[in-house]
Amino acid sequence: MNKNEINNRLRREKKLEEYYKNPNHCIHCGNIIEMLPHQKTNEVRVKKFCNQSCATTFNNMNRVKKEKPIKIKKVRPKQFDYLNFLTKKELYDLRGVYYKFRATIRRQAHHNFMTSDKPKKCIACGYEKHVEVCHIKSVSEFDDNVTISEINHIDNLIGLCPTHHWEFDNGHLKIK
């Protein structure tokens, strides 16, 4: 060690000793505000809190909390009532493209299944965390003039886990 390093270390030790004779205290918890190795004494002297957590807790105690407005749920007419009297072909013509047509049928099927009293679990294994709604008779097997309410009738819907849904769709699982 050279003379400068020794002098700097001695100066630092003297400053630490002076600080800890009359240290700053946290205005929230009352603990001594510690002086970190890289900090200067005048940096620590201006601090009012020992850490960010104390500062946040102290500053939030006096904060006026805004009341959240009460949200009133809008009562909508039954979401899928308009589909009940449409035929498969009419819905396809209304949606224009296949993926929108299938998405509409899928959403109504999910709604019908979730609002029914059928158990919300896989009928093959009993898994309950993620259940997919599956048509027993696929949508493509129905004629074009069949109504959407017949396709998505609760007796044509079952709950399956993703694995069993794939197996059912690919002919590896038979539903009785």
Contact 54, 28 (CB under 8 A): yes
pLDDT on residue 168 = 93
Q: How far apart are CA 115 and CA 135, in angstroms?
A: 16
For residues 88 and 157, membership in a common domain is answered with yes
Q: Are residues 92 and 165 in the same domain?
A: yes
- Same domain? For 23 and 102 the reply is no
The verdict on residue 21 lying in a domain is: yes
> pLDDT tens digits, the chain, 176 residues: what are they?
688 888 888 888 888 888 888 888 999 899 988 888 888 888 888 889 989 999 988 888 878 878 888 877 665 556 777 787 889 999 899 888 989 999 999 999 998 999 899 999 999 999 999 999 999 999 999 999 999 999 999 999 999 999 999 999 999 998 87
In a domain, 150, yes or no: yes
**Domain contains 67:** no
Same domain, residue pair 55 and 96: no
37 found inside a domain: yes
User: Which pLDDT value is given to residue 152?
Assistant: 92
pLDDT at 76: 59
Are residues 47 and 118 located together in one domain of the fold?
A: no
The rounded distance, in Å, linking the Cα atoms of 12 and 41 is 9
Structural domain boundaries enclosing 101: 81-169
Residues 18 and 98 in one domain: no
Q: Give the pLDDT of residue 164.
A: 95
Full-prediction pTM beyond 0.85?
Answer: no
Q: Is residue 66 part of a domain?
A: no
Specify if 75 maps to a domain: no
What's the total number of domains in the chain?
Answer: 2
Looking at the fold, whether 164 and 85 belong to one and the same domain comes out as: yes
Residue 108 and residue 33 share a domain:
no
Cβ atoms 90, 151 nearer than 8 A: no
Q: Based on the domain organization, do 56 and 128 belong to the same domain?
A: no
CB 104 within 8 A of CB 151: no
Report pLDDT for 156: 94
Q: Are residues 38 and 96 in the same domain?
A: no
With respect to residue 39, please indicate whether it lies within any of the assigned structural domains. Answer: yes
Contacts of 56 (CB under 8 A, 6+ apart): none
In a domain, residue 73? The reply is no
